Chain A
Amino acid sequence: MPTMTVSGHQYSLDSHGVEAVLQGALPEPIQEHFVVINGRRWPPKQVLALVTGLDRADFTTHQARRALTRLGFTAGRAASPRGHNPATSPAAAPPPGAASGATGRPEPLVEALRPFIGLWVAVRGDEVLVAAPSPKEVVAWLAKHHQRAQSMFRVLDSEQAITGAAPQ
């Protein structure tokens, strides 16, 4: 198990241990940097604070990012400013989501939603803000982090989940 020193403390960490600690937690909003764990994007500092119990002021984002990439997690940087919403831009005609069904072009939101099948999500543009087992948790997360979603729904996993809608 790799050992690393964070803020003067030594820790033995591996990827499975990190994944286990994050079970049941919800990722906070991504400001710029993120790491991908269990198919979700996490702020590096949130992860390292949860794993080590350290205060976030005790280390930098880059230290957290470096520690987590050493464990094999992918790191990235958010490409677009938060709140950008190409799907409803008045300049977009037709909307980006529109043609994909006819052309088979990859749909960014579809890929972003794929890890969250069966969960409730809040989305803005092509970004998944939060995913959780219940709408109550999603709404609580939005309130806590002062976020506003474009849409909230449960990510269905089959055509049958919606074709059963009866006219009433």
Chain B
Amino acid sequence: MRFAFRALPAASGGALTPRPVVDIALEGLEAAPIACLLDTGALRTRMSAELAPLAGIELPGDLTEEFFIGGLKTVGTLARVSLTVTDDTGEFSWDAPIWFCDPWPHPFGLAGLGGFLHHFLVTIHAYDGYLEIEPEPWLGEP
């Protein structure tokens, strides 16, 4: 599956540098896949906590962690959810741990090692401005 880097408008005019973004749908929120910035340095996959109730995901609160992101102290709550990525060539679903964070300062989710990169072979064509993801072969095994 292929995802073009996403460029966004800059408030001052022009465009921000295009970035590698993957749209990941939460089970229950398939109509609105969440744009997630690919972050190879992040150990976890994180999203805003306000997205969880929209997908009908209950956050049990028994596994949380405090951390700082972008200088902001926040709390992440773990939930194991079903995720799907789709493009015109097909779709792929997997179960993964996602940390729903409140507050969440970023406009995107972050697709990190746990929850995303552990599940895919990712090829980043940075010069050409796109990335390709391929499910790891072990995910198709019984």
Contact = CB atoms under 8 A, between A and B. Distances in A.
A110 B32 CA distance: 19
B107 A85 contact: no
Given A88-B87, A164-B71, A97 B4 contact: yes
B69 A100 contact: no
A110 B17 CA distance: 11
B44 to A, nearest CB: 7
Contact of A136 (B4, B50, B106, B128): B50
A161 B32 CA distance: 22
Contacts of B48: 135
Contact of B89 (A90, A95, A97, A151): A90
Given A100-B129, A164-B70, A95 B2 contact: yes
Interface stretch (A7-15, A17-25, A54-62, A139-147): A139-147
B138 interface: no
A127 to B, nearest CB: 14
A166 B9 contact: no
A113 B10 CA distance: 10
